[in-house]
Structure 1
Amino acid sequence: MSIKDIGPQPQSFDLEKATLENDNYRTVAWSGKYLQLTLMSIPPGDDIGLEAHPETDQFLRLDGGRGRVQMGPAEDQLDFDQEVEDGWAIMVPAGTWHNVTNIGDEPIRLYTVYAPVHHAAGIVQATAEDAERDEESGADEPPEWSVQPDEPASDEHA
């Protein structure tokens, strides 16, 4: 299944099927003015990467695989620690340090909703390294038509 991010226009597709078929680290599936939907695939033993989004709330849902989610107020204080699997949801409040690690033997397939929009519309990043490179180069910036905080703070990465 191929999803095309058409921007802030009405869209409908089989989200579970798209999530399970996504082999990319991150695929931005839909970008609105206020929120964004991305699909992710995390290989066994890998993780999303410890990070915090100062002004972005995030919702994640696993549609396949097993993981460990850790969250907390500081990168060295991850006092929330929970194993998650297919069907589980993870809510990450803005400013919370968080990571999801694949502890299973198959890729974690998940989708995540960001509010406000967090990534470039339609961007596809095959690997975590591609995502990091795009962020460093400025290629992964929210679209100009999305509503962003007046003075956006940069993400933090461990």
Structure 2
Amino acid sequence: MSITDNGPQPNAFDIESATRQNTTYRSVAWTGKYLQVTMMSIPVGSSIGLEVHPETDQFLRLDAGTGVCRMGPSETELTDTEVSDGWSIQVPAGTWHDVVNSGDEPLQLYAIYAPSHHAQGTVHKTAEDSEKDEEAGTDEPPEWTVQPG
């Protein structure tokens, strides 16, 4: 299944099938004025990476695999929860979080950011590609999205 980010136009697609078929670290599926949908595939033993979004709420849903969700008020104060297919994770703005693939198959999930957090249509094949874009400042949400402050 091929998904094209046509945001901010109306959109509909089979998110569960698309998420299960996604093989990239992150693919932006849709960018709206106020929120964004991305799909992620986390390899065995890898994670999304410990991070915090000071002004972005995040919703994640697992569609395949098993993992450990780590969340807390700081990098050193994290609570672990085992998660698997069908689980959802709600991350309030300002919360440190990570999802680690603890299983034996890729961890397939989608994430919804509010407000939008990435460049429209971005595809990061690997976590390293994502980090390079962040360092270069090329993974920024479009100017037409509503951002805090």
- Correspondence list, 1:69-84, <5 A: 69-78=69-78, 80-84=79-83
Percent identity between matched residues is 67
In the TM superposition, structure 1's runs of 4+ consecutive aligned residues that sit over 2 Å from their partners are none
What TM-score comes out, normalization by structure 1 length? 0.94
Match of 1:153 in 2: none
Match of 1:148 in 2: 147
DSSP-derived class of the 2:17 partner:
helix
What TM-score comes out, normalization by structure 2 length? 0.99
Q: Within 2, Cα distance between the matches of 1:95 and 1:107? A: 27
How far residue 134 of structure 1 moved from its aligned partner, in angstroms, is 0.4
Q: CA RMSD in A?
A: 0.4
Letter in 2 for 1:141: E
Letter in 1 for 2:4: K
- Correspondence list, 1:6-155, <5 A: 6-78=6-78, 80-150=79-149
Aligned length: 149
Q: Within 1, Cα distance between the matches of 2:7 and 2:13? A: 14
Letter in 1 for 2:10: P
CA distances 1:26-63 after superposition (whole Å, capped 9, x unpaired): 00000000000000000000001000000000000000
Q: Which runs of 5+ in 2 are unaligned?
A: none
How far residue 120 of structure 1 moved from its aligned partner, in angstroms, is 0.2
How far residue 81 of structure 1 moved from its aligned partner, in angstroms, is 1.2
Q: Within 2, Cα distance between the matches of 1:135 and 1:142? A: 12
Q: Within 1, Cα distance between the matches of 2:14 and 2:74? A: 36
Q: Which runs of 5+ in 1 are unaligned?
A: 151-158
